[in-house]
Amino acid sequence: MDFDGPTTKTVQPFRISFVCAGNICRSPMAEVVFAHHVSRAGLASRVGVASAGTGDWHVGERADERTIAALARRGYDGRSHRARQFDPEWFPALDLVVALDRSHERILRSWATGEEDRAKIGLLLGFDPAQAALADVPDPYYSDDRTFDEVLGMIERACTALFRQLEPAVRQGATL
């Protein structure tokens, strides 16, 4: 066990990554929303939040302008996001890998090197009982601004539910 001093236990950050296809629409929304919950709760030093895509089509690009606009309409700032591709070598450093739909979940499970990594993978809507039956957050990429707003609403509700589940353990410094 690590210690900072004679009586202070070192708290390891809980690390979570949200994953969609290209990392320019859904997963950046989830990253920004979840990071907002973490920051508002004063837990930024205890939770690391990231996002990535299963594909490499947009690596290095900003989030889709409609993503940035939808986030801004709700008071979030997604302008600093840069897309990246999920690397299976990240599994050991992550505590939770959240897929935005079942296709991403399948890809992530195929990349996992063992049961320990596969056990870290979950669907975002699965954390929200009110939306769990839907399973997939729809891809708004080929849609309009209204769809981006609707998708963001789904992501906000699911991230709120996920945060409520994780917050007590994070506050206590538990290894999840």
Catalytic residue among 25, 26, 136, 159: 26
Contacts 24+ apart (CB under 8 A), 111-115: 111/86, 112/88, 113/88
Best CA proximity match to 76, nearest among 152, 161, 166: 152
DSSP H helices in 15-74: 26-40, 65-73
* Active-site option among 15, 95, 118, 139: 139
Active-site residue flag, 26: yes
Residue type present at position 128: D
**149 has catalytic annotation:** no
25 included as an active-site residue:
no
> The tokens of 159 are what?
């991230």
Sheet of 14-20, strand order: 47-53, 14-20, 96-99, 121-123
Question: Would you name the residues annotated as active-site residues?
Answer: 20, 26, 139
